[in-house]
Structure 1
Amino acid sequence: MTNISMSPFMNKIEWIDPPRKFTMPHFIPYKGDEDPDRHLKYYRSTMILYKNNNAFMCKNFTTTLQGEAQDWFHTLSPQSNQSFNELSFVFTKEYSSNRSIKMTSDHLFSIVKDPQETIRDYVKRFKVEKAKIVGCNEDIAIVAFRNRLPTEHPLFRKLIMREE
Structure 2
Amino acid sequence: MTNISRSPFTDEIKQAKSPREFNMPYFTSFKEEKDLERHLKNYRSTMILYRNNDDLMCKIFAITLQGEAQNWFYTLPPQSIRSFYELSLVFTKEYSSYRSIKKKSDHLFNVKKNLKESLRDYMKRFKAEKAKIVGCNDSIPRAAFQKGLPADHPLFGKLIMKEDLTLADSFTLAEKHAL
State whether TM-score is above 0.5: yes
Deviation at 1:97, TM superposition (A): 1.9
Deviation at 1:52, TM superposition (A): 0.2
RMSD: 1.3
Contact 2:6 2:74 in 1 (8 A): no
The one-letter amino acid of 1:69's match is A
1:98 aligns with 2:98: yes
Deviation track 1:69-108 (CA, whole Å, cap 9, x = no partner) reads: 11110100000010000000000100002348xxxxxxxx
1:57 aligns with 2:57: yes
State how far apart, in whole Å, the 2-side matches of 1:98 and 1:24 are: 29
Give unmatched runs, 5+ long, in structure 2: 101-179
Corresponding position of 1:66: 66
Report which stretch shifted further, 12-21 or 85-94: 12-21
Contact 1:34 1:99 in 2 (8 A): no
State how far apart, in whole Å, the 2-side matches of 1:18 and 1:67 are: 25
SS of the residue 2:16 aligns to: coil
SS of the residue 2:62 aligns to: helix
TM-score, length-scaled by structure 2? 0.51
The one-letter amino acid of 2:76's match is L
The one-letter amino acid of 1:80's match is S
Deviation at 1:29, TM superposition (A): 0.5
Runs of 4+ in 1 over 4 A off after TM superposition: none
Contact 1:8 1:81 in 2 (8 A): yes
Deviation at 1:6, TM superposition (A): 2.5
Identity of aligned pairs, percent?
62
Contact 1:32 1:68 in 2 (8 A): yes
1:47 aligns with 2:36: no
The one-letter amino acid of 1:17's match is K
Give unmatched runs, 5+ long, in structure 1: 101-164
SS of the residue 1:18 aligns to: coil
